[in-house]
Amino acid sequence: MPEFMDVHHNMKGVTAEQLKAAHEADLEIQGEEGVVFKNAWADPESGQVYCLSEAPSAEAVQRIHERTGHPADEVHAVPLVV
């Protein structure tokens, strides 16, 4: 399944608890779109959050993030990985 990196730009001050809660909300419903969220990395200082997933499409990733209340600002297919 293709991999995607999505990016959130405005999560300044995000805490470990908030990141975990957001990730768990995604995990709960991800199966409805065939998405598998793998990891998320957050920089509370700049507000950037990066989420790595496997999914059928960028739109499927975004639909899950929208339904859980944190739409991504960018969703990129990342077909090349090292």
Site residues (CB under 8 A) for a copy of itself? 3, 5, 14-16, 19-20, 23, 39-46, 48, 50, 52, 74, 76-82
Q: Looking at residue 75, what DSSP letter applies?
A: E
Residue 54 three-state SS:
strand
- Other CB atoms within a 10 A radius of the CB of residue 39 amount to 9
Least distance from a copy of itself to the Cβ atom of residue 56, Å: 17
Q: Which is nearer to a copy of itself, 16 or 69 (CB)?
A: 16
Both tokens of residue 82?
């090292």
Least distance from a copy of itself to the Cβ atom of residue 63, Å: 19
